[in-house]
Amino acid sequence: MNTGRIMAIFEKDLKEFTRNAMLFTTILLPIILAFMYSRMGGEALPAMLVYLIVGVAFSAILCSGIMTMMAEENEKNTLRGLMQSPASMLDILAGKSLVVVLMTAVSLIISFLIMDVAFEWSIASIGGLILLALFFLNVGIAVGLTVDSVATTSVYLLPIMFIFGFTPMIEMVVPDSDHFIRRLTDYLPLYQNISLHGEETTVPLLILLAWTLVSFLYVTWAFRKRMSDEVK
């Protein structure tokens, strides 16, 4: 990897991101939700609502952003031009990841300020947040590497957003807490992040770590598949 080339791709993609209405407006989604929740009144916002905003930001900006950018490069044949330059695939992915990480951070900070998030951020909860970010980033990169068009990304994005981003919403769809779907959702990553604000942190962290490892395996498989497709 080369810092100069990563920064060149970061600068190019930052411009592309801000000029792409579809991508740029995703930043507003968590902010609008945060604004709505902050108007609900009452005591401090529960962790579940805060993490719902985190889930929305990570799935709609971090995951969807990198997925869409990669798919668009594929669709418009610009990725071939980058691959024929001295930039490696890792330089390209790093440059793009920096853009979506920056945009997600901006959106989350504004959302947290609007919601006036009051609870303590322990090392475990911050670590959990980083693992969750890596999970969504890896999934976004993996899908982006395997799809050929922006339109195809929505096939992947909708289930990813619903299952991993809007996880607490599943409780509204399946109200029975003993239902097997509800018992399965207890193992989804976002619930581990919520649990990290309780007393037990080891198990949720291990489950989160397992999800992140699975996402790394997925992105490694997608990367190898992509690179083997490049030279046949």
Partner 1 sequence: MDRVIILENVKKHFGNEEALKGMTVEIAKGEVFGLLGPSGSGKTTTIKILTGELGPSEGRVEVLGRSHESFNSTQYVKSLGILSDNSALYERLTVKDNLALFRKLYNTEQTKVDQVLKDVGLEKHIDKRVKDLSKGMKQRILLCKAVLHEPEVLFLDEPTSALDPGTTESIHAMLLKIKAQGTTIMLTTHNMDEATALCDTVAFLNNGTITDMGSSESLRQAYKTNEIHITYRNGTTRHIQRTIENRSQLEKALFDPEAVNIESDYPTLGEVFKKVTGKELV
Chain contacts with partner 1 (rule: CB under 8 A):
4-5, 7-9, 11-12, 15-16, 19-20, 76-78, 80-82, 84-88, 230-232
Whole-angstrom distance, CA of residue 184 vs CA of residue 134 = 22
**CB nearer partner 1, residue 88 or residue 152:** 88
Minimum distance of partner 1 from residue 73's CB (angstroms)? 9
> CB-side exposure of 140: number of CA atoms within 13 Å?
29
Minimum distance of partner 1 from residue 150's CB (angstroms)? 13
Q: Which strand (E) or helix (H) includes residue 186?
A: none
Minimum distance of partner 1 from residue 27's CB (angstroms)? 17
Residue 94: phi, psi to the nearest 5? -65, -45
**CB nearer partner 1, residue 6 or residue 53:** 6
**CB nearer partner 1, residue 19 or residue 39:** 19
Minimum distance of partner 1 from residue 226's CB (angstroms)? 13
Minimum distance of partner 1 from residue 79's CB (angstroms)? 9
Q: Which of 95, 102, 80, 103 is CA-nearest to residue 22?
A: 103
**CB nearer partner 1, residue 87 or residue 147:** 87
> CB-side exposure of 79: number of CA atoms within 13 Å?
23
**CB nearer partner 1, residue 56 or residue 69:** 69
Q: Are 13 and 5 in contact (CB under 8 A)?
A: no
Q: What's the burial of 229, exposed, middle or buried (CB within 10 Å: 0-12/13-18/19+)?
A: exposed
